[in-house]
């Protein structure tokens, strides 16, 4: 992408974040309804597809149909892959909110911090990754091995229960900072007896920040397996993250019904890892990669919903008090 594509994309992302804040911001005592979250999730996906169509149109006119088709397929594959990883990220957010008892009315502020943090971290890591890959081709093999290991590990421990009380970061925070037992609205800290005390909300934000780092480390090697074009890597990544807040409020009550999704994501990571390891031996066509990612995601979601079809339906977060 040329500089004006990057500038235009930066402007679009800035506007999108502002819209997200204004529309899903609401009043402090309001919560986002399932229907509202569904509508906005669809709009965020539509925005990504429109951007991809514009990119295809530009490339078709300048470089020809073959380049346009290849790049558009790479963008969509990367977008699907990153969206799947983002959903997995959301389930971790949900686990943190449940563990710390964060009220739905306070979750929005934490989520926007999580989304902005994810965008910034991904931007930095994509920039560094692109430079390293350009200088050291062998790093692609390192990325491939890492993805293969991550995917196999996820398959093996998909059913393992996570004990947040034993989390090293949480232990460190509790051992080194004064933490209040109760929330103080949306404040991250208070002054008590002349000393600064941090609220549980601050701890949640710190944990989400670390979660952003962990998922960025997973997702960046994965997207570089799809394409080495920094612009496509950046845009597909950011578009996947942009609608996270709306997607969270849509999926929060359905999390228990998507327990097979983790297996699907694990399989995709293994596939992408193998694709990257074979990069100098056999280039797996992007169309085939797109088909694998799409089919595995759909099958894992449909199978999850079918197996859990007798579970109670979703309850709007607005009914949670």
pLDDT digits (tens, 9 = 90+) for 49-96: 999 999 999 999 999 999 999 999 999 999 998 888 888 778 888 888
Helix (H) or strand (E) holding 122: helix 104-135
Q: Across all residues in the chain, what is the average pLDDT? A: 84
What are the residues facing 190 on neighbouring strands? 197
Both tokens of residue 239? 């578009």
The H or E element containing residue 264 is helix 261-277
Separation of alpha carbons 23 and 194, rounded Å:
38
Q: Which residue has the tokens 């998909």?
A: 158
Alpha helices in 136-254 (DSSP H): 139-156, 168-176, 200-226, 230-242, 244-251
For residue 52, what pLDDT is reported? 94
- Amino acid 92: pLDDT: 83
Give the span between the Cα atoms of 85 and 218, in whole angstroms: 8
Q: In this structure, what is the dihedral angle of CA atoms 70, 2, 223, 11, given to the nearest 10 degrees?
A: -120
pLDDT for residue 319: 43
> What is the rounded radius of gyration, in angstroms, for the C-alpha atoms of the chain?
20
pLDDT < 70 stretches in the chain:
1, 23-31, 158, 160-161, 311-321
Say if pTM beats, i.e. exceeds, 0.95.
no
Largest interatomic CA distance in the chain: 69
pLDDT digits (tens, 9 = 90+) for 192-218: 888 899 999 999 988 888 888 887 887
């Amino acid at each position: 992408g040329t500089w004006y594509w990057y500038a235009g994309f930066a402007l679009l992302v800035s506007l999108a974040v502002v819209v997200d804040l204004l529309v899903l911001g609401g009043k402090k005592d309001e919560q986002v309804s399932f229907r509202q979250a569904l509508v906005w999730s669809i709009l965020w996906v539509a925005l990504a597809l429109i951007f991809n169509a514009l990119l295809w149109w530009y490339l078709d006119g300048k470089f020809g149909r073959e380049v346009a088709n290849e790049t558009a397929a790479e963008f969509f594959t990367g977008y699907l892959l990153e969206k799947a990883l983002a959903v997995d990220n959301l389930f971790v957010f949900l686990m943190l909110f449940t563990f710390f008892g964060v009220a739905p009315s306070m979750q929005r502020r934490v989520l926007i911090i999580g989304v902005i943090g994810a965008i910034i971290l991904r931007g930095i890591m994509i920039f560094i990754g692109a430079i390293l890959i350009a200088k050291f081709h062998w790093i692609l093999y390192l990325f491939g091995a890492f993805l293969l290991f991550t995917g196999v590990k996820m398959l093996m421990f998909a059913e393992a229960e996570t004990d947040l009380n034993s989390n090293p970061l949480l232990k460190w925070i509790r051992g080194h900072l004064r933490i209040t037992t109760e929330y103080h609205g949306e404040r991250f800290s208070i002054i008590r007896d002349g000393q600064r005390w941090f609220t549980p909300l601050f701890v949640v934000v710190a944990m989400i920040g670390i979660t952003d780092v962990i998922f960025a480390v997973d997702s960046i090697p994965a997207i570089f397996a799809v394409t080495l074009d920094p612009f496509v890597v950046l845009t597909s990544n950011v578009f996947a993250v942009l609608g996270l807040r709306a997607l969270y409020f849509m999926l929060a009550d359905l999390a228990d019904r998507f327990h097979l999704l983790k297996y699907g994501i694990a399989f995709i990571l293994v596939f992408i890892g193998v694709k990257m390891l074979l990069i100098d031996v056999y280039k797996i066509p992007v169309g085939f990669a797109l088909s694998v990612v799409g089919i595995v995601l759909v099958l894992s979601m449909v199978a999850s919903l079918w197996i859990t079809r007798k579970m109670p339906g979703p309850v709007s977060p607005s009914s949670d008090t």
